[in-house]
Amino acid sequence: MKSNLIQHLFTTRKLSKQDIENLFDLAKKIENNPKDYSEVCKGRILGNLFFEPSTRTRLSFESAMLRLGGKILGFTSSRDSSATKGESIADTIRMVNHYADIAVVRHYMEGVGEIAKQVSTIPIISGGTGTQEHPTQALLDLYTLKKEFDNIDDLNIGFLGDLKYGRTIPSLLYSLIKYDNIKINLISPKTLRIRGNVENRLNNAKSDYLVTENLHEVLETLDALYVTRIQKERFLDPIDYERLKNSYKITPETLQDVKDHFIILHPLPRVDEIHYDVDKLKYSRYFEQAKNGVWIRMALILKLLGVE
């Protein structure tokens, strides 16, 4: 990716299918032979700037850098940083430029990418910013699909849950539409429908997509269902969350008539939208998906640092 002059990663929109496939090739090489990569980042430091809570993204970035032989530093909430004293994100990024060689930022604000572009001379990766993008999650989601089906082209994929506030969804849609003959099914309550700006991009790309509230209208046709939690922390009115939180729940019964090769993905954390009994069915891939995050993030660190 370095070769394409992508210094930071805040959106999947600017990645080409070739960029994505190159990243997957490297992730696969790392996954097959992790020992070959265990010292390639010796002497390098990854900074984790997490202004919002995280389990998988932060820990898998840490694991990725440690498995590459590098070191890590950072903070895990805005409370632990000078943001509480009023420091701007721009100043925090400027400082970390002196302390790390590459950094990950998770933030509630949109627009951190623009700030990074202006002030950072080290690569900055979004670990989820605002409600609009979570590019590394999308890449690991896509990598999981690739491993499962070999070819991403021609897949029929459902997106279920909070399509309005779930930031992994736009990033995944923007990368999926680079592939051929993808069918997209957007399943959500009316009030949590995909945003207009995301739908415009689907239209501009002439994507084949359907919007519905009814999971059973499409479930039997799907190769994969991407389930998301209702994003409680984004609701202005808690009553709205209470009304919508149980909109969908996947149980073994829900899945009686799915295709044999069907799989369920979820960026996690799960709340109530997938019953624990589904975990042991042959369809669940969400824990494997989280594991794939380490390979993808290792590959991404190498690409952005220009180490190969």
- Binding site residues, ligand NCD, CB under 6 A: 56-57, 128, 134, 137, 167-168, 228-229, 267-269
Choosing from 8, 67, 106, 107, which is the catalytic residue? 106
Q: How is residue 55 annotated by DSSP?
A: S
Q: Which residues pair with 106 in a beta bridge?
A: 50
The answer to whether 56 is a known catalytic residue is yes
Kindly state the smallest distance separating residue 121's Cβ from ligand NCD, in Å.
Answer: 26
Q: Which helix (H) or strand (E) element contains residue 209? A: strand 208-212
Residue 282 CB, nearest distance to ligand NCD (Å)?
A: 23
C-alpha to C-alpha distances, 105 to 25, 128, 133, 142, 274, nearest whole angstrom:
25, 7, 12, 21, 29
State how beta strands 156-160 and 224-227 pair. Answer: parallel
Q: Which one from 44, 134, 178, 285 is the annotated catalytic residue?
A: 134
Per annotation, catalytic residue among 8, 11, 44, 57: 57
- Minimum CB–partner distance for residue 138 and ligand NCD (Å): 10
Residues making up the chain, counted from first to last: 308
Which residue of the chain is nearest ligand NCD when measured via CB?
267
Please, which residue, 134 or 285, has the CB nearer to ligand NCD? 134
Q: 171 or 185: whose CB is closer to ligand NCD? A: 171
CB–CB of 109/89 below 8 Å? yes
**Which residue stretches of the chain are H helix?**
17-32, 56-67, 89-99, 112-119, 135-149, 168-176, 196-204, 238-244, 286-305
Least distance (Å) between residue 229 CB and ligand NCD: 5
Q: Which of 85, 190, 206, 280 is catalytic?
A: 85
211 bridge partner residues:
186
Is there a catalytic annotation at residue 106?
A: yes
Helix (H, G, I), strand (E, B) or coil at 3: helix
Nearer to ligand NCD, 128 or 158 (CB): 128
* Residue with Cβ nearer ligand NCD (57 or 120): 57
Q: Between 27 and 40, whose beta carbon lies closer to ligand NCD?
A: 27
- CA-closest candidate to residue 122, choices 140, 89, 95, 88: 95
Q: CB 39 → ligand NCD: shortest distance, Å? A: 28
- Whose tokens are 């975990």? That residue is 279
**3 state SS of 219:** helix
Could you list the active site residues? 56-57, 85, 106, 134
